[in-house]
Chains A and B, each alone.
Chain A
Amino acid sequence: SQTIHQWPATLVQPVGSPLSLECTVEGTSNPNLYWYRQAAGRGLQLLFYSVGIGQISSEVPQNLSASRPQDRQFILSSKKLLLSDSGFYLCAWSTPSGRAFAFFGPGTRLTVL
């Protein structure tokens, strides 16, 4: 069966510090990978998605970036965090073709102070 991992689970960072959140998927090959952000009391906003290694599409221009160095690894980064980057970050995967599924990781709660 497929599983998706995210770490860290919780992170408190000062404004201006760098960020690296990691997501890995097990039990599937060539998944589509996604980063979503959920601000307090709001819905989910798609930040980035990837259909393959090194292929990243950005949905919202901001100071965040994403990378996919391996087939089942997706990383969300920032060089300098802003207060507005606080939120709950969710990684998700879906099948690349055919029957579409979308499963989410446990999430990372980021607080920028």
Chain B
Amino acid sequence: AQTVTQSQPEMSVQEAETVTLSCTYDTSENNYYLFWYKQPPSRQMILVIRQEAYKQQNATENRFSVNFQKAAKSFSLKISDSQLGDTAMYFCAFMYDGAGSYQLTFGKGTKLSVIP
């Protein structure tokens, strides 16, 4: 079974600064996807960024980028130029890419506060 660990329950960052959220996972599979989701106070889960395990290049989406280390099973999220709207819970998630249903396994989340 896959597990996802987010070791930082809470973090804070000054507006316009850069912050990195950590995520490690454990799996015996070789083909999978990794995700970062943002959950603002409205509680809707918003997909921030997605990484295919077979790609060596790190995914980027505007101010959001990941550092994917497959051998170390690490998948950290870097937020550059932090904005007040980035304040939210951030969840790391794993999805196996194989026959059958694709089930998301989530970490427990990191609460990020952006300080003006």
A38 vs B39: C-alpha distance when bound (angstroms): 11
Q: Is A5 an interface residue (CB 8 A)?
A: no
User: What count of chain B residues pass the 8 Å CB interface test?
Assistant: 24
Q: Chain B 10-47 against A: per-residue CB contact (8 Å), 1 yes, 0 no? A: 00000000000000000000000101010000111111
Counting contact residues on chain A (CB < 8 A from B), the size range is 20 to 34
- Chain B minimum-CB-distance residue to A6: B44
A4 vs B52: C-alpha distance when bound (angstroms): 23
Interface of A is mostly: strand
Is the CB–CB distance between B95 and A44 below 8 Å?
no
Q: Chain B 97-116 against A: per-residue CB contact (8 Å), 1 yes, 0 no? A: 10011111011110000000
**B-side interface residues toward A, CB under 8 Å?**
33, 35, 37, 42-47, 50, 52, 91, 93, 95, 97, 100-104, 106-109
**A-side interface residues toward B, CB under 8 Å?**
32, 34, 36, 38, 42-44, 46, 49-51, 57, 88, 90, 92, 94-95, 99-107, 109
